[in-house]
Structures are given as C-alpha cells and as structure tokens.
Amino acid sequence: MSHYNEMFEGDAVRDPYARLSQWVATMPDDFRQMKQAEAEELFRRIGITFAVYGEGGDPDRLIPFDMMPRVFEQAEWRKLERGIKQRARALNAFLRDVYGRGEIIRAGRIPARLVYQNEAYEKAVVGVVPPRGVYSHIIGVDLVRTGKDEFYVLEDNCRTPSGVSYMLENREIMMRMFPQLFRHNRIEPVDQYPALLRRTLESVAPPKCTDRPTCVILTPGHFNSAYYEHSFLANLMGVELVEGQDLFVDGEFVYMRTTTGPRRVDVIYRRIDDPFLDPLCFRPDSMLGIPGLMDVYRSGGVSICSAPGAGVADDKAIYTFVPEMVRFYLGEEPILNNVQTWTLWKDDDYRYVMENLPDLVVKEVHGSGGYGMLVGPKSTKEEIEHFRRKIEANPSNYIAQPTLSLSTCPTFVEEGIAPRHVDLRPYCLCGDRIELVPGGLTRVALREGSLVVNSSQGGGVKDTWVLSE
C-alpha cells in the first residue's frame, strides 16, 4: 500500500515544507540528540504527563514528543476548518433534536433504536434546552489524510475530548527551543485557545446569571489520567479547578466553597462523565459529583459543558449518520467525508465483514483510546480468529472500516528521519460562535508501519503548523 507523504512528492519537497527541509538537512546529528533530550527535560519540568489505562508501568510517563513539525497550508486548513464547523453545527442540531421532538427519527433517517436505546442517551435531560441550544461545547474531531485533498473523519468526540494541553505545550516548547524557526516561517498562533475557551464558556451562561459568569473546571481528581490537563487549562483560563466536594447546591444555585465564603458558579466545564455528575439523578453511589446539580441544571440555574447526554452524538454507531445529519439539519453536502463503515448488526454488513476480517479495522461501538480494536492487516491469524469469536458473541457491539492508507510525516527516529503515520485532532469551540484555533493536535504512530496513533499504543505528538498566507 502506498501512503501519501505530506512532505515529499517523490524526491521533491512539497511547498509547505520547503523551509523546514533546509532546517532538517542542515541539522547535525548530535545537535538533534541534544535538542531531543532538552525537549524531554522541558516536558518533565513542566509536568506534562499522561497516565495510560491498562498498560501498567509508570503512570507519569511522558508521551514522546517529536520535534519535526507537521505543516498545513492556509488553503488546506481553511477547508478543514469549514468542514469541522459544519460538522459541529450538525452534531449540536442533532442533540437538540433527539432531546426534543426527534424529527430526524420521525423522518426515518436514523433508526430510533440507535438513539433512544443508546447507553449515552440521558432521558433525564429530555426537553431541557441548554443556553444557545449548544450541547457539545468542545468537539474534538479526529481526522486522517489519505491524499492531497482527501481527508476523512474517523470519529467525533463530543463529551470531554482531551489532549489540547499537548497542542499548547508542543507549540510552547518548539518556540522555546527553536525561536529562529518561528521567525523564518509565518505560523498561525494557537496560544489564544484558553481565552477562546473561556469566552465560549461565558457565552453559554444560564438564563439566571446576571453578572459576568463564574466558570470552573470540574475534575474527578488527581488520579485521573488527564488531571494535568484540567489544572493546566484552569490555570491558563484563570478559573478555579474544583472537585465535586468543593461545590454544593443551595436553593436554586450551585456554589463553590472559597476562603471568603460561598461563591455562585454559573458555568461548569466538567471533565467527569455523566453517570458520576449527581447521585440524586444518576448513579446513587457516585462520590465524584454534586448532589442536586441536575435539578439546578434542569431549571436553568447553572450550565454544564458538555451538556449531560451529549455523548449520544459521538457514539461509533451514530457516527455513520453524521453526513445524513449535515444534509437533514443544514441542507448542505458534507465537506468532510466519513470513513465507510459496516455496522455488524446488519446481516449483509456482518457477512461482508466476517469474510474480509484480515483487510479491515474492527472497533467496539463504545470503545476508545485504541483499545478493543482489530487492525486486520497488522494482526496474526490467531489474533484475527480470537477477535472473530468476540464479534460472534455480540455482533451489535462492533463496527468495521476499511484499513485506510494514512498519510505519513517525516519523524525523527533512531536512524535519522523517517515517515510515520499521523492523524489530527482539531478542537472546535461552540458557544455564541463556532471557533477553532488553527491546527490542533497531531498524533504520530512511532512504531514503523503502525497505524495506531493512540498514546496508549505507542503514539507520540507533534507541533502542528498552519502557515499564514
């Protein structure tokens, strides 16, 4: 399989990488090694680490940072940006709809069962319309590239996508280590993200809020794998980082305990999952949430970002219908393509997938983080047969996709520089406006030939550049 190389076309360097190629070509080996060590030291000093579930080992291990940036031209980015914004509008329209009249289901465009019997569908918020009708305020859209103008959306993350702290840190560290690169290349900044995020959160303050809204980030605590990111963002936004026990409900509002007494909270950017938000509404045994929060939310006393129930839009089974949502709600043709997806609860799809397992990627409907998936072409016969038995036991738990020929970017490796597969996660902010900072987080599969970019599976990260006009 030949892969689209984002830097080279044969031996020729593509335009966006022209200056970088000189930089790489003239970089002595020992200088590169010194800089790589320096980068790791910086990451460690800043404290950015990412614990990985299910791997054992060092929970504070670093995600490998690759110094070779990934570059987009302005025009390439503009198209991606339009496509992502379109998708974000459609996803929020879908959420408004399925917690309201369900027109898309009445119209027969999406099966009722997939929505209403979905684990992430929260009947407790049916009929509740959050401020500005926005349910998902931060959408991480995972994209892969297969050609010059070919991009595919792998999945949408409508709940609490993580990783944006890496986007910010990667840039910060590149600028510190290679300031001259940023003088010679005109690169769109990303450091406005925290201010944009705060503005987004403030723009969805609840109807009962009359002053400048007080926003907080709600974290499950320091044992959570993304705790670093929670505190990092709180710090950069200038808002409090709180745990459930720091908040309480009194009368019609939510308050935060402070040294100067209780302070009303208007917008909660929560990084805990729905079932744990409020023991009086969801799981009665949850200690992470705030008792009574959902009653305040449902009566317009506080905003929760993302809104409870938003997860129904980013389920892997619902994913196959996003292009349909774009057409149904916006009357537009999708700018970004979905990957062809076979849903194993359909008989025809099931037969096709079972006959072609060695060529396909199979994923769990509710899985994430690269766990519980089969990459057919990269698996042994035994692995494929083992997975086949798992599918047979519960077909409706799986979807399958063709193995995409992911693009590669030059990446520093032991032997020098070599192509490695990459994806891209831009972060789309939805409030009174829909905004993105240029670029996003590029993840790179550091193992040669690997197509899995998840940090839990040997993935690394890169700084992502969008060149100015």
Partner 1 sequence: MKLRISHETTYRYDRPIRNLIQSLRLTPSIYEGQKVLQWQIDLPGGVRGPGFRDGAGDWIEGWTLRGPTDEVTVRIEGRIDTRDTAGVLRGHREMIHPLAYMRETQVTRADPGLRELAASVTQQGDVLNLAHALSRAVSEAITFRPGVTESRTTAAEALALGEGVCQDHTHALIAVARTRDIPARYVSGYLHSTIDGEPHDAAHAWAELHVEGLGWVGFDAANSCCPDERYVRLGSGLNASDAAPIRGIATGGGAEDLDVRVQVEEMAQ
* Residues at the interface with partner 1 (CB under 8 A): 99-100, 102, 105, 112-113, 115-117, 119, 121, 123-128, 248-252, 279-281, 284, 291-292, 294-296, 298-301
Are 225 and 60 a contacting pair, CB within 8 Å? no
Which residue, 272 or 360, is less far from partner 1 as judged by CB? 272
Which residue, 181 or 312, is less far from partner 1 as judged by CB? 312
Which residue, 116 or 345, is less far from partner 1 as judged by CB? 116
Question: Which residue from 43, 48, 44, 49 is spatially nearest to 61, judged by alpha carbons?
Answer: 49
Which residue, 124 or 335, is less far from partner 1 as judged by CB? 124
Which residue, 202 or 278, is less far from partner 1 as judged by CB? 278
Output the smallest distance, CB 115 to partner 1, in A.
8
Tokens 């925290």, located at residue: 194
Output the smallest distance, CB 454 to partner 1, in A.
30
Taking the alpha carbons of 178, 179, 185, 189 in that order, is the dihedral positive or negative?
positive
Output the smallest distance, CB 303 to partner 1, in A.
14
How many whole angstroms separate alpha carbon 142 and alpha carbon 361?
Answer: 16
Output the smallest distance, CB 221 to partner 1, in A.
19
How many whole angstroms separate alpha carbon 297 and alpha carbon 208?
Answer: 11
Which residue, 123 or 381, is less far from partner 1 as judged by CB? 123
Which residue, 8 or 248, is less far from partner 1 as judged by CB? 248
How many whole angstroms separate alpha carbon 74 and alpha carbon 188?
Answer: 9
Are 358 and 340 a contacting pair, CB within 8 Å? no
Which residue, 216 or 294, is less far from partner 1 as judged by CB? 294
* Stated length of the chain: 469
Output the smallest distance, CB 240 to partner 1, in A.
21
Question: Which residue from 391, 336, 397 is spatially nearest to 143, judged by alpha carbons?
Answer: 336
How many whole angstroms separate alpha carbon 436 and alpha carbon 438?
Answer: 6
Taking the alpha carbons of 442, 444, 450, 453 in that order, is the dihedral positive or negative?
negative
Are 460 and 430 a contacting pair, CB within 8 Å? no
153's tokens: 């959306």
Helices marked H in 47-108: 74-98, 103-106
Output the smallest distance, CB 180 to partner 1, in A.
57
Which residue, 292 or 426, is less far from partner 1 as judged by CB? 292
Output the smallest distance, CB 378 to partner 1, in A.
35
137's tokens: 């305020």
β-strand partners of 8? 13
Output the smallest distance, CB 116 to partner 1, in A.
4
Output the smallest distance, CB 101 to partner 1, in A.
8
Output the smallest distance, CB 256 to partner 1, in A.
15
Output the smallest distance, CB 98 to partner 1, in A.
9
Which residue, 315 or 435, is less far from partner 1 as judged by CB? 315
Which residue, 123 or 389, is less far from partner 1 as judged by CB? 123
User: Distance of CA 100 to CAs 94, 105, 130, 353, Å?
Assistant: 10, 11, 12, 35
**What beta strand segments (E) does 191-298 contain?**
215-218, 240-242, 247-250, 253-256, 263-265, 267-270
Output the smallest distance, CB 255 to partner 1, in A.
11
65's tokens: 């940072």
Are 151 and 334 a contacting pair, CB within 8 Å? no
Which residue, 43 or 121, is less far from partner 1 as judged by CB? 121
Which pairs from 247-254 meet CB under 8 Å and 24+ separation? 247/216, 247/218, 247/290, 247/293, 248/290, 249/290, 249/291, 249/292, 249/293, 249/295, 249/296, 252/208, 252/296, 252/299, 252/301, 253/208, 253/296, 253/301, 253/302, 254/290, 254/293, 254/296, 254/301, 254/302
285's tokens: 């045994």
